[in-house]
Structure 1
């Protein structure tokens, strides 16, 4: 099913972040989206399919020219329809417009193999890897560099 015509991705105002908590609970069974929403350049995106919220992506400034995508997910019943990819591209577009040079995110390939596949398919590079004892999985950091205006 092609969702491109009925999918809408919007940036969520800070005051409406409770929607992220609800989606996060449904998708991951977890009450904590990120440790704190008090972040520089916080960005919260929600994907809506035919009027229903079906996914989210949240990130923030990690360093002055680096944006970190902290968490995201799609409801199980609508996965494998390009929604995660659409959320990723929507965030990349907004991050590029805000003049960041680098976009990074972490994933745990055994817990979330789909994100590893998506990152590799979209041309991201592995820039860091290590074992995370909290999650009992390897953590991979992927990065995408934006060309500067002179490139």
Structure 2
């Protein structure tokens, strides 16, 4: 059983990685359906993936991160694998995600686990976004 409230743990970890937990909290409140895939160590959230359905067959893997103290231990890979197994069980056949060049380790993990780059675009801030998709067959 987690020692800290789960959402608080996700927001604290997110803030330590990305620095915008308040923004994330607001976005979470606006979403009706979210899937959280979590990793814990002694009741503390050390990794997370958050996503939501795009439609009945396509899922968007929105955000994720692993605590700096726990990186390079396979946690991000395990979270992704658990998320994809669950999605297949629920009937999804495709997962999409987006990343940026500065999150190179996530980009490489996505490519190594079967994602294809399907698009790129510049966001409102002028940063390049990389769109990736994977078939869940």
TM-score when scaled to structure 1?
A: 0.78
Deviation at 1:40, TM superposition (A): 4.7
When structure 1 is superposed on structure 2, of 72-81 and 40-49 the one drifting more is: 40-49
Q: Distance in 1 between matches of 2:96 and 2:132?
A: 5
| 1:69-111 deviations in Å (ceiling 9; x for gaps) | 11000111211111111111111111111101111100011x2
| Pairing of 1:2-21 with structure 2 (within 5 A) | 16-21=6-11
The aligned residue for residue 112 of structure 2 is 121
| Closer, same or farther: CA 37–99 of 1 in aligned 2, 3 Å | farther
Instruction: Give the paired residue count.
Output: 132
Instruction: Show structure 2 runs of 5+ residues with no match.
Output: none
Secondary structure in 2 matching 1:55:
strand
Q: Give me the TM-score of the superposition, normalised by structure 2.
A: 0.85
Mapped to 1, the partners of 2:88 and 2:12 lie a distance apart of 28
- 3-state SS, counterpart of residue 64 of structure 1: coil
Q: CA RMSD in A?
A: 2.1
| Alpha-carbon distance between aligned partners in 2 of 1:19 and 1:54, rounded to the nearest angstrom | 8
From 47, 60, 72, the counterpart of 1:80: 72
Structure 1's consecutive aligned runs of 4 or more residues displaced over 6 angstroms after TM superposition are none
Q: For structure 1, which runs of at least 5 residues remain unmatched after alignment?
A: 1-9
Cα deviation, residue 132, structure 1: 2.1
What is the match of residue 122 of structure 2? Answer: 131
Question: Could you tell me which of 55, 65, 73 is aligned with 2:57?
Answer: 65
